Structure 1
Amino acid sequence: MNISFNTIDKDNILSIFPLLSKINTKTPPDLLKNRIIEMGNCPNYECVAVFDDNELIGVCGLWYSTRHYLGRSVEPDHVIISETYRGKGLGKLFFEWIYEYTKQKGCEAMELNTYSTNTKSHKFYYNEGFNIYAFHFAKILREDQKFY
């Protein structure tokens, strides 16, 4: 393995679609692609990735903000490592890189959301030193009231 970490250029943001579609199975593909493009155009969003040589094997979105209770913070989003690379410590290495990368950008804290049913991620984040401080609530405003 020849592992490296880097940002995904906004012009190449759709390169994350194959990995992201594996964890987002409820959103229709065209809608997911449109959302990825819109996210890529947000000034407070950045996508970082794990590569094995030139093969994209992991992604993580980073949402930057300043919060009154944390200061300058970053929220990792849609974190995924390709199935064939899981269990090899890449998630830990990726997050070590993300911690340093975002500290260099002035971030003082990190917070994230994970689905309540994703118990593997809970264990990972606990081991990374994350604590539960709040619940994340969502209300669907679309007419169909569906989550996708």
Structure 2
Amino acid sequence: MKTRELTTVAEMLNNIELMRFLYPSFTFEKYEAYLKDMVPHNYKQLAVYENDICVAVTGFWTATKLWSGRYIEIDNFIVHPDHRSKGLGKMMTDYIDVKAKEEGCSMIVLDAFTGNFTAHRFYYNQGYGPKGFHFVKIINEDGLS
């Protein structure tokens, strides 16, 4: 297994089929439009490859908040179902841990849907814990993936 940091829209678009495990109806056009909006704001992806095939990917970006200072946010953590329980998730969180330290971050943050207990267990095992609630007010259902 080999990891690679993806920094361009073109590189990220190659992984749309993997993204569809999380967002089954994701269109190429929507993914491309979102990436074109996100990449200029420091969005990157970490991809894990087996024999040149992407089998896991997570997005991440670095930003600053008043209460926390500099942080990395993990976004859309996906491991292909055929490659789960092989340590790929830990490989990705370990990479992000190192990246956060290198970039002088005070913490790593992420969101996990309330009903995704498998993800909760994984994140607890990696040293993450809930700090608060992420409140959401949906304005446009059609804009959701």
Structure 1 residues 56 and 68, CA, compared in 2 at 3 Å: closer, same or farther?
Answer: same
Q: Which residue identity is paired with 1:43?
A: H
Question: Is residue 2:92 matched to residue 1:94?
Answer: yes
Residue 12 of structure 1: how far off its partner (Å): 1.5
Question: Is residue 2:59 matched to residue 1:61?
Answer: yes
Q: Which position in structure 1 is the counterpart of 2:110?
A: 112
Match runs of 1:40-79 below 5 Å: 41-79=39-77
Question: Is residue 2:54 matched to residue 1:18?
Answer: no
Q: Which residue identity is paired with 1:65?
A: A
Residue 113 of structure 1: how far off its partner (Å): 0.3
Counterparts of 1:15 and 1:8, CA distance in 2: 10
Counterparts of 1:20 and 1:36, CA distance in 2: 12
Residue 16 of structure 1: how far off its partner (Å): 2.2
TM-score (norm 2): 0.88
Q: Which position in structure 1 is the counterpart of 2:138?
A: 140
| Unaligned 5+ runs, structure 1 | none
Asked if 2 retains the 8 angstrom alpha-carbon contact of 1:76 and 1:112, the reply is: yes
Counterparts of 1:112 and 1:26, CA distance in 2: 23
Q: Which position in structure 2 is the counterpart of 1:31?
A: 30
TM-score (norm 1): 0.86
Counterparts of 1:27 and 1:138, CA distance in 2: 21
CA offsets per residue over residues 77-123 of structure 1, 9 Å max, x none?
00001111101121112211221123212222111101111100000
Secondary structure in 2 matching 1:42: helix
CA offsets per residue over residues 61-90 of structure 1, 9 Å max, x none?
112111122221011000001111101121
Count of paired positions: 144
Counterparts of 2:96 and 2:54, CA distance in 1: 16
| Unaligned 5+ runs, structure 2 | none
Q: RMSD of the TM alignment (CA)? A: 1.9
Residue 47 of structure 1: how far off its partner (Å): 1.1
Q: Which residue identity is paired with 2:69?
A: G
Q: Which residue identity is paired with 1:131?
A: G
Question: Quick one: percent identity of the two aligned structures?
Answer: 27
